[in-house]
Amino acid sequence: MTKKRVVVKDLMQVGYVYHLTEPVGKHFHPNFRAQLTPKEMLELGVFGGKYMTDCTAEFPIDWFVKVRLCSERHDPDLNLFGVNASQPLAEWRRKGWIYKEDPRGWFQWYCRYYMGRRCPDDERQIKRWRAMSRHIGQIKKNCRPRDLDCHRRQRQALLHWAYDSRNI
């Protein structure tokens, strides 16, 4: 595969350059088995529609065809489960969860990883993704199967991490 060079220009990064070294959606780390693609996540409704409003040019246009975005504010009604399951970016920064090359956090890392970028932060981000699976057990323990009104905030949080709780 020929390396593709990506130059980022959005409100949070100008001139950041990375290379796509793997085919789109392929050659993931064996411990990383995301259940949803970034496109599927966006179509279902994540991050109150606010997350990707200024950086759509970096990713395939078809990711945004069926997405409801809100450039003015974070709107929980745009989330699949209609609840806010996000912490402010400032909190993520305070906790040291933000990697300098991905200033928007995990989902930005995942979008770039999915597109074929590999970087020194991959292992840490995959460990963080795996840690979210504990919420699946809580939903299975406390909710009737496929009761999407049960533990909606946890379900939305799982969706933000590419887990699909609709069949739990």
Domain boundaries, the chain: 4-133
Instruction: Give 53-81 pLDDT, tens digit per residue.
Output: 899 999 999 999 999 888 888 899 999 99
Taking CB atoms within 8 Å and a gap of at least 24, the contacts of 18-26 are: 18/101, 18/112, 18/117, 18/119, 19/117, 20/115, 20/116, 20/117, 21/116, 21/117, 21/118, 22/116, 22/117, 22/118, 23/116, 24/114, 24/115, 24/116, 25/114, 26/116
The Cα–Cα gap between 6 and 79 comes to 29
pTM equals 0.94
Taking CB atoms within 8 Å and a gap of at least 24, the contacts of 146-151 are: 148/81
pLDDT at 1: 65
The Cα–Cα gap between 5 and 134 comes to 37
pLDDT at 21: 97
Ranges in the chain, pLDDT < 50: none
